[in-house]
Structure 1
């Protein structure tokens, strides 16, 4: 399989770190592979917003996403590959799939479990992505 663009679903968890390491190995094999690192912010859907609480929460969650992606950037900075780092709003499984489609990615790299740490082979996000993706998915344990 020839890979031109990889999307890495990254949330800063231990398993996401392992997925990042696999992405590095893939990128090291070919400097022309583009890497798109994605962090999804899922905002609560509530009809009750008091003052600026929602906007403050939204800003805080985006800032956290930016911080997580900055840490990923530090770990990837030695690679010559073209990279982008994106924070998106939405449920992580759908955000990952939409981003992969929008960016014409031909591989999704995702950890088997995210920050919830549920001890199953696949977490709900990776399970959804595997079953609904139009492109190959590399699940890292």
Structure 2
């Protein structure tokens, strides 16, 4: 078996839902693979400045929303015998995913890639950060845009 535990980064976008569809197909073939679904969000500031006083007001709602997102993702796997768990972290996504994979002895990280380029990719790409800092294999799914595919390959 190529993996025993898979960590999937999830944020309820079309791309992350496509990633879950792919992972579902893999789990259908291998009931022994465990799945950890990770959702991370930035927690509001603990000591806001006078200009940020109301920033922390939404913290309970953010956590409740995050838990709903994880439950939605887990529900996609109820038809399978695999062990599926969801985890919510209130820290940056790259750090949360890498830390979770290490702490839970994962064999593979699966994440979507929006296809940002240039400086933006180097500065803000979660998938790029995970690829460069992970000590385990990372499977990235590029965002597939039908129009770009047709222009490039059907000229």
Report TM bin, short chain: 0.7 to 0.9
CA distance in 1, matches of 2:141, 2:98: 17
CA distance in 2, matches of 1:132, 1:50: 35
TM-score where L is the length of structure 2: 0.79
C-alpha deviation, 1:101, in angstroms: 0.5
CA distance in 2, matches of 1:78, 1:23: 13
Tell me the equivalent position of 2:35. 35
Q: CA RMSD in A?
A: 1.9
User: Are residues 1:4 and 2:34 paired?
Assistant: no
Tell me the equivalent position of 2:116. 120
Pairwise mapping of residues 1-141 of structure 1 onto structure 2 (< 5 A)?
Answer: 2-45=2-45, 47-48=48-49, 50=53, 54=56, 56-113=57-114, 120=116, 124-141=125-142
Tell me the equivalent position of 2:147. none
Which structure's relative contact order is higher, taking Cα pairs within 8 Å and 6+ residues apart?
1
Of structures 1 and 2, the larger Rg is shown by 2
Higher fraction of helix: 2
CA distance in 2, matches of 1:61, 1:47: 17
* Alignment check: 8 A CA contact 2:44 2:59 kept: no
Q: Any runs of at least 4 consecutive aligned residues in structure 1 with deviations exceeding 4 A, and if so which?
A: none
Q: Which runs of 5+ in 1 are unaligned?
A: 114-118
CA distance in 2, matches of 1:32, 1:13: 27
- Alignment partner of 1:77: what SS? coil
* Alignment check: 8 A CA contact 2:7 2:38 kept: yes
